[in-house]
Structures are given as structure tokens and as C-alpha cells.
Amino acid sequence: MALVGCGSALPAARVSNTDLSQRVDTSDDWIRSRTGIAARRVASAAEPLTLLASQAAEAALAHAGWEAADLDLILLATSSPDDLFGTAPRIQAAIGASGAVAFDLTAACSGFLFALITAGQYIASGAVRRALVIGADQLSRWVDWDDRRTCVLFGDGAAAVAVEAAAPGTTDLLGFRMRSDGSRNACLTLAQTTETEPLLGDLEAQKGGFAPIQMNGQEVYKFAVREVPQILAELLEHTGTDPGALDWLLLHQANQRILDAVAERFSMPGERVLSNLAHYGNTSAATIPLMLDEAVKDGRVQPGHLLASSGFGAGLSWGAALLRWSGPQG
Ligand code: COA
């Protein structure tokens, strides 16, 4: 599999920490010092996930120099779909990729990495030649805006990566690891509510609906600083890669302190750890492709660069992949 293009799209409205402090009892200083976040984007009703994800998809197609008709597969990683039956087909229609099969994949903040690895398997098997892997979330729909422990962390965004079959014997997915631990699911949930309605006699039918995000911040923090270095170390060992050979650490953007802790474990200097948390907060499945798109377009990530990536979050789920960027410069 070769990584050959990327693109992203963000909602227009920017909400700063100071703006948020008008809604909940918090401060710019508290949020910045604990998380590194200064602002986030929040989608309006006129910016549904389908729209942002389609804009990101079109930008990635243009960057790769492809037509929508070239696509065989569209994989949408999201936990906040416009339609629980699947949002990827709406994107397929919006961009005119009539020949592509399109479906959603849910693994919260690990979603993009899991989807990229999944697309890599379809390509490796020969079933698919060209695919778009999209990470898009609008967790602003699902946070409790009166809960200062969670609402300050999340933001909305969408980004996509174009991948295709590589020359025989080569790949930009040089290795990967994926893990889940459902026994710790309660640490971070966006769960179905238990409201029911009488149906027939004693039979109660459950009503659809989800409760806002519930999170044990300290447990999630401990999980991340323990498991992410561990799985990255396994990945580097498995692929025989010296950390000094990495050009970039491309981690899920959840908290600057988590990025710093992982970087320290691998003695990576701060300037090689990609971070845009300050501008966008945690955009869940979108963070990794959003960060990649920014760093490719501003010229930090160059053709041939080696990136160690890790996604982690609800599930609990986590994973790591060693990637090479083969797309155009800038
Ligand atoms: N503004 C001001 N005060 C806040 C606050 C906010 N936004 N959120 C929490 N506080 C308060 C708490 O109420 C608590 O006050 P108390 O001691 O009077 O009860 C105090 O700050 C400390 O809270 P605590 O939860 O111990 O803070 P923390 O240092 O653990 O930082 C997180 C909280 C959420 C920033 C941190 O736990 C974290 O980043 N966890 C990982 C979350 C994450 O990344 N989730 C997504 C993973 S994909």
C-alpha cells in the first residue's frame, strides 16, 4: 500500500478556551496547562459530518491527482455518523465515486489507524486498488457542554488519506499492531440510553438514543501513557526500526502531556513530534489524518519520510503503525 494524497476540512466556528469559560467554570490557563489545547472547531447544523468528510475526500483526491471514479473503496472511521446505518455511502454519492464500496468503521480515536490498516489488507489481497480512508468526527454533538471535565477536550474535523496498491515488493505500511480491552470500556463511553416505551402487554421496547460522553479522565490518561509507548516499542522491535530512524511521531492528538510522555520514552526531540492540539483539540478519528495533512502541506513531512503513528481511545482500543509518506511534496 502506498500513501499518495491527503486532504482535510474543518468547521468554520472557532471556540477558544476563553469563549468556553463563559459557558462552564474553567479557564484558558487550566485547559492549556493540563492539555495543550487553546481552541477547537465546532460544526454548525449546516456542516454535517457528510459535508466535511466529503470536502476532505475531494481535497485528498485532488492531492493524489485522482478522479472519484478511480476509487474502489471508501472507509469512513467515525463515532459520530450522520446516519447509524452508515454515512460512508452518503460521502460516496456526494463525491460521485459510483464504483466504490463505502462503509463505516467505528473504533473511536483509534478509528483512523484501524481503518488505514484495514484498507491496507484489502489492497494487499488485491481486492482493492485505490481507496480513501477518512477519519471524521463531530463529538460536539455528544459532549455535555455543562461538564467541564470533558467538553473542553473535544473538537470537530474531517481528514482523508488516499492509498493505492504499491509497486510489487514495496509498501508504506511497514508494520502494525492493534489492541482492544473491553474490560475497561467504562473508562470512556458514548453509550445507548436505557429509556423504554410500552409496546404490548409487559413488553417494553427500548428507545434509541445515546447519553453524552462519560469519561474517567485520570484512568484514560494512565492507559494512554502506559499502552502507547508499549505498543510503539513492540512495533519498532517487530519492524527492526531504531527510534533514531524515525522522522516523525504522528500520535492521536488527545493531550500534549501524553505526546510529551511518549516522546520522552523514545528520546524524540519535541520538534519531531507532530502536534496541532492547540488549534483543534481532540477531533477523535480525525486527529491523525488532520495532523498528517497539515504537516505534508506545510512541507514538514517530505516524500520518503518515516512516521511512527499511534491511535488510542475508547473501547478501550489502541494501535500503532509504521508508515512512509510517498505522496506529493506539499
Ligand atoms: N477547568 C477547571 N477545572 C477543571 C476542569 C476544567 N475544564 N476539569 C476538571 N477540573 C477540576 C476538577 O474538578 C478537579 O477539581 P477538584 O480537585 O476540586 O475536584 C481538578 O480540576 C483536577 O481534576 P483532575 O480530573 O484530577 O485533573 P487532571 O489533572 O487529571 O486533568 C484531564 C484532567 C481530563 C485533562 C486529564 O485527566 C486527561 O487529559 N485525561 C485523558 C483524557 C483524554 O485524553 N481523553 C480522550 C482520550 S482519546
Task: Please indicate, yes or no, whether residues 23 and 142 belong to a single structural domain of this protein.
Answer: yes
Task: Please indicate, yes or no, whether residues 158 and 178 belong to a single structural domain of this protein.
Answer: no
Q: Does any domain span residue 259?
A: yes
Domain with 233 in it: what CATH number?
3.40.47.10
- Block means of pLDDT (10 residues each) for the chain, length 330 residues? 97 98 97 98 98 98 97 98 98 98 98 98 97 98 97 98 94 97 98 95 96 97 97 97 97 98 94 97 98 98 97 98 91
Ligand 1 contacts CB of residue 35 (under 6 A): yes
Ligand 1 contacts CB of residue 161 (under 6 A): no
Q: Which burial class, exposed, middle or buried, applies to 242 when counting CB atoms under 10 A from its CB (0-12, 13-18, 19+)?
A: exposed
Residue nearest to atom 33 of ligand 1 (CA): 217
The pLDDT value recorded for residue 71 is: 98
Structural domain containing residue 306: 173-185+212-324
Task: Please indicate, yes or no, whether residues 253 and 133 belong to a single structural domain of this protein.
Answer: no
Q: Quote the Cα angle for 219-290-35, to 5°.
A: 35
pTM tops 0.85, yes or no: yes
Ligand 1 contacts CB of residue 32 (under 6 A): no
Residue nearest to atom 42 of ligand 1 (CA): 217
Q: Does any domain span residue 203?
A: no
Ligand 1 contacts CB of residue 50 (under 6 A): no
DSSP H/E element including 40: strand 39-42
Q: Does any domain span residue 204?
A: no
The pLDDT value recorded for residue 84 is: 97
The pLDDT value recorded for residue 5 is: 97
What does the alpha-carbon distance between residue 153 and residue 118 come to, in Å, rounded to a whole number? 28
Q: Does any domain span residue 195?
A: no
Ligand 1 contacts CB of residue 254 (under 6 A): yes
Ligand 1 contacts CB of residue 251 (under 6 A): no
Task: Please indicate, yes or no, whether residues 141 and 179 belong to a single structural domain of this protein.
Answer: no
The pLDDT value recorded for residue 254 is: 98
Task: Please indicate, yes or no, whether residues 79 and 40 belong to a single structural domain of this protein.
Answer: yes
Task: Please indicate, yes or no, whether residues 259 and 179 belong to a single structural domain of this protein.
Answer: yes
**Ligand 1 centroid from CA 217, angstroms:** 6
Task: Please indicate, yes or no, whether residues 115 and 143 belong to a single structural domain of this protein.
Answer: yes
The pLDDT value recorded for residue 304 is: 95
The pLDDT value recorded for residue 328 is: 85
The pLDDT value recorded for residue 47 is: 98
Task: Please indicate, yes or no, whether residues 12 and 114 belong to a single structural domain of this protein.
Answer: yes
The pLDDT value recorded for residue 329 is: 84
Task: Please indicate, yes or no, whether residues 158 and 219 belong to a single structural domain of this protein.
Answer: no
The pLDDT value recorded for residue 330 is: 80
**Ligand 1 centroid from CA 109, angstroms:** 19
Q: Does any domain span residue 197?
A: no
Q: Does any domain span residue 38?
A: yes
| Helices 28-35, 256-265: inter-axial angle, 10-degree rounding | 20
**Ligand 1 centroid from CA 29, angstroms:** 13
Q: Which of 102, 130, 164 is the last residue of a domain?
A: 164
The pLDDT value recorded for residue 327 is: 83
Q: Which atom of ligand 1 is nearest to the CA of 149?
A: 8
Q: Does any domain span residue 205?
A: no
The pLDDT value recorded for residue 9 is: 98
The residue to mutate among 29, 255, 258, 310, having the most atoms of ligand 1 within 8 angstroms of its beta carbon, is 255
Enzyme catalytic residues? 109, 252, 282
How far is the CA of 138 from the CAs of 109, 185, 234, in angstroms?
Answer: 12, 21, 32
Strands 13-16 vs 73-77: parallel, antiparallel or unpaired: unpaired
Task: Please indicate, yes or no, whether residues 261 and 157 belong to a single structural domain of this protein.
Answer: no
Strands 101-105 vs 73-77: parallel, antiparallel or unpaired: parallel
Question: Total domain count for the chain?
Answer: 2
Task: Please indicate, yes or no, whether residues 218 and 292 belong to a single structural domain of this protein.
Answer: yes
Q: Does any domain span residue 87?
A: yes
Task: Please indicate, yes or no, whether residues 138 and 178 belong to a single structural domain of this protein.
Answer: no
Q: Quote the Cα angle for 255-259-264, to 5°.
A: 145
